[in-house]
Structure 1
Amino acid sequence: MLNKRVKIYISIIITVGLFFIVYSMLNVPTNRIIDIILFGFFAALAESMPIYITKDVTVSVAFAVDLMALLILGPYEGALIAGIGTAFQISKYADGRVRHIFNFPYYKTLFNMSQIALSVGVGGLIYEYAGGIPRNYIYPYHLLSAILAAIVYYLLNTSVVAILLSFLTDKSLTYIFSKEIKWMVPNFLFLAFLGIIMSEAFVRIGYVSLILLFIPLFMIRYMFKLYMDSKQSYYDTINVLVKALDAKDKYTAGHSKNVEKIAALLCREFGFSESHTEMVKIASLLHDIGKIGVKEEVLNKPGKLTDEELSIIKEHPQKGYEILKEVPALKDASLWVKYHHEWYNGSGYPDGIKGDEIPLEAQILSLADVFDALVSDRPYRKAFSPEGAYEIIVANEGTQFSPKIINAFKKAFEKHREEFKHDI
């Protein structure tokens, strides 16, 4: 359910956006209707080709088409075209279901239409205010105006979405911009460049330029999709390894996923970039991969381990390192896996390093690993509550854990107490 703050925000954007759309309709000459329909078709086509970055996050190539619309036809026509493209897109969800206007929540459609129409419309008004003239050559006299319009369109569109994300996730706007939106800037720069180039081409050769536009857009989307598919295959392979380990070690089934979740919260406190956090999450999933080489009777022994069995278990960080180090993309992660049982005071294993010799990422894995172990049932004890596990970990500051990792843990636990609950 949406909270009151989100509902109010969505209502404001929809109200202002629909007012602007109606105002735009009243200010569009009748001889532009065909242009709006044709551009709207291409905008909907572009919106129908999203690339899924995650289950809920997509990158669209429609920015270039919408930018063309406002530069060529003007702010009001551009707003209507962007709204049409957003409303009538037909695409597939990550799970394969087809999305269209009739099976998509109406308030989401209205919000998306409203915010994109506002963003494009304001960008178009800025273009004219800065001296730009629709249906005129952009280079060289109106190039700066076009760049300014693209920046305003992008910033307004991004800000509206960022505020909504902040309300939905309870994260600060600073975090949303720096960690969840910043990575899209290169995408914006390229599409802005392409939109301006194709606007110039449209003025010179007309609608043929729109067809030419979609050739590079299709190629960009295809190449990026290949990259994302290979990345997904990479994650699928990792998850297969994790499932194989879970099947072998019944007492730690699901443990790696929980460690991944906690590690991500700690990475957030340290301000890691998304790519850095992603690599730590991968290391979290694979931190116990060395246990694949340990006999099941040792892993699943219900009673106390003998000294010999304990020494076998203690080999798993080194074994995990030896497995992962051969993969170039996991070179750093392999070291974090190797050192995730090292202690701040030097009494850990396998190498007995201490203090800042232990990589911060390995310290994150270590704390996340210990926390989830404490809140999980074991053959020799019942699980601690999250609060009990918190007290135990904090009490080990200066011995097992460094002050800086404990400080980050305290902040993360206070902000995300619910997410520290154990998931089976």
Structure 2
Amino acid sequence: MKDLPKRQKIFFVSIYISTVTLFILSLFLNYISITYDDWKVVLFFTILTIITESFTVIYLEISFSTTFAITLASYILLGPFSSTIILISGFLFRIIKLEDGTYNHFFNAPLYGTLFNCCVQTLPIFIGNYFYITIGGKFGVNNLFESIVPLIIFSIVYFIFNTFIMSIMLSFYINKNVLYCYFSNIKLGIINYVAMIPFGVMLAIIFQYYNFRGVIIILCPIVLARQIFAMYIESKTQYIQTVEALMNAIEARDEYTQGHSRRVAEISVEIAKKLKYNQWKLEKLMVAAMLHDVGKIGVSDNILNKPGKLTIEEFNKIKEHSEIGYNILKEVKNLQYVGPVVKHHHERYDGKGYPEGKMEEEIGLDTYIVQLADAVDAMETDRPYRKGLSKDEIISELENNSGTQFHPEVAEVYLNILKSRA
């Protein structure tokens, strides 16, 4: 922990202290009672938690876990004390396979991180439990009907506080505003939590009446849901890897634009986030930006790698790459939506671009975003015949060409981004 930045250390310690303080306060005010439930039941739900946590599915910023269903069921059946013990034990003994093939577990994870993860899960239970008890919630399946509203409130409070704590942590790593991280995580995580609430309730009811054997019945659809999501994530990962491989193949032929498509994608996503694109639209835009120059496959290496300025004839050959790219992608079912961006990313807002001279709203906003990102990266990058432009020079270019070359709204958004940078 000594290597962590100071503000991160302060945050970790504050979470530790808050969790312990709230637990003691809850005991003192009788919101939590130390109970001695059947050890077999506690062990059973602990094993379920270990399994579900060990099989958490992660993709980009999205994680899918069925643990909340187990936590909710144990909370209904056993109350806050035992459900907290179960959840902590699940986190302590989980084994997660990382992308590089190694495994993360209690014995190779830093202690401060393990403690933090436990607190992140248990602190929202204590806070949610306060609301649950205050508005009349009771434990046990027999009291479930009259406790439905308190249970929903408990789930909402748990989700809000769990997400908020994790968003603060995420903001340290990606250097983004906490509220930005918070609302992004809410949009990504709410489906998972909402889906797990009915599963948790059903799990508690079935366990109450059918004991251990009955749980296997309800676990089947939970495991199936996890497996379907895992298959979806695997297909998405393979899809992105295929796009990246194609992008790398394009850039391997053009030594002067190494990394260009990736930078265009990064700039495009940065602009789109300011324009409130949702995750689905962001992903589509990112793919379009990564493949915007795919048509260069059909352009001669001699022209692509010419160290000096191009002749008019050579430039006309280069201009063909947008239509070549469109014709390639229109035959690929899962990439047809990229076609219009690839074809028109050299058009201009005033209609003086190519290949069709389209203007203003004849072209979609995605295309204008990639068009500006493409131009900005070209301005920033050193070429054999000129040095890259400075930030102030790029700002001047965007201001002078907003409404002519560039879409005014897109140009304004990126100008604000540039001006906000130190």
**Please, what TM-score do these two structures have when normalized by structure 1?**
0.91
Distance 1:269 1:380, change over 3 A: same
- Determine if the alignment matches structure 1 residue 270 to structure 2 residue 272: no
Match of 1:45 in 2: 51
Question: How far apart are the structure 1 equivalents of 2:83 and 2:332?
Answer: 48
Indicate conservation of the 8 Å contact 2:202/2:218, yes or no: no
Q: Distance in 2 between matches of 1:253 and 1:168?
A: 27
Partner of 1:149: 154
Contact 1:71 1:127 in 2 (8 A): no
Q: What secondary structure is seen at the aligned counterpart in 2 of 1:141?
A: helix
Residue equivalent to 1:79: 84
Q: What is the RMSD of the two structures over their aligned residues, measured on CA atoms?
A: 2.3
> 2:183, 2:18 → 1: CA distance?
27
Q: Distance in 2 between matches of 1:336 and 1:250?
A: 23
The alignment status of 1:208 with 2:213, answered yes or no, reads yes
CA distance in structure 2 between the partners assigned to 1:156 and 1:212 by the alignment? 31
Q: Does residue 35 of the first structure (1) align with residue 59 of the second (2)?
A: no
Q: CA deviation at 1:203?
A: 1.6
| Conservation of the 8 A alpha-carbon contact between 2:398 and 2:415 | no
Distance in structure 2 (CA, Å) of the matches to 1:19 and 1:82: 19
What letter matches 1:47 in structure 2? E
Q: Amino acid of the residue matched to residue 45 of structure 1?
A: I
2 CA distance for matches of 1:21 and 1:100?
26
CA shift in 2, pair 1:38/1:22, >3 Å: farther
SS of match in other structure, 2:141 = coil
TM-score, normalised to structure 2, is 0.91
C-alpha contact (below 8 Å) 1:78/1:124 kept by paired residues: no
How far the C-alpha of 1:121 sits from its partner, in A, is 3.1
- Offset at residue 24 of structure 1 (A): 7.9
Contact 1:24 1:80 in 2 (8 A): no
Contact 1:21 1:79 in 2 (8 A): no
Q: How big is each residue's C-alpha offset from its partner over 1:91-114, in whole Å with a ceiling of 9 and x where there is no partner?
A: 111221100012112222111101
Partner residue, 2:226: 221
Identity within the alignment, %: 34
> How far apart in 1 are the matches of 2:114 and 2:5?
19
Q: Deviations over 1:156-185 (max 9, x none)?
A: 212222233345444344433443430322
Which residue, out of 8, 17, 37, partners 1:15?
A: 17
Q: Do the aligned partners of 2:37 and 2:82 also contact (CA within 8 Å) in 1?
A: no
Equivalent residues of 2:167, 2:181 under 8 A apart = yes
**2:7 equivalent among 5, 11, 18:** 5
Give per-residue Cα distances to partners, 1:28-71, cap 9 Å, x unaligned.
Answer: 233454433332222121111110112x6532211111111111
Other structure's SS at 1:207 match: helix
Q: Letter of the 1:345 partner, please give it.
A: D
Aligned equivalents of 2:414, 2:353: Cα separation in 1 = 20
Q: Structure 1: where are the runs of 5+ without partners?
A: 418-424
Separation in structure 2 between the aligned mates of residue 100 and residue 178 of structure 1, nearest angstrom: 29
Report how far residue 196 of structure 1 moved.
Answer: 0.9
Structure 1 segments, 4+ long, off by >6 Å, are: 22-26
Residue 347 to residue 74, structure 1, CA distance change in 2 (3 Å): same
Task: Decide whether aligned partners of structure 1 residues 225 and 97 sit closer, same or farther in structure 2, where only a CA change above 3 A counts.
Answer: same
Length, aligned pairs only: 416
**Alpha-carbon deviations, 1:90-144, whole Å to 9, x = none?**
1111221100012112222111101211112333443343333322335533322
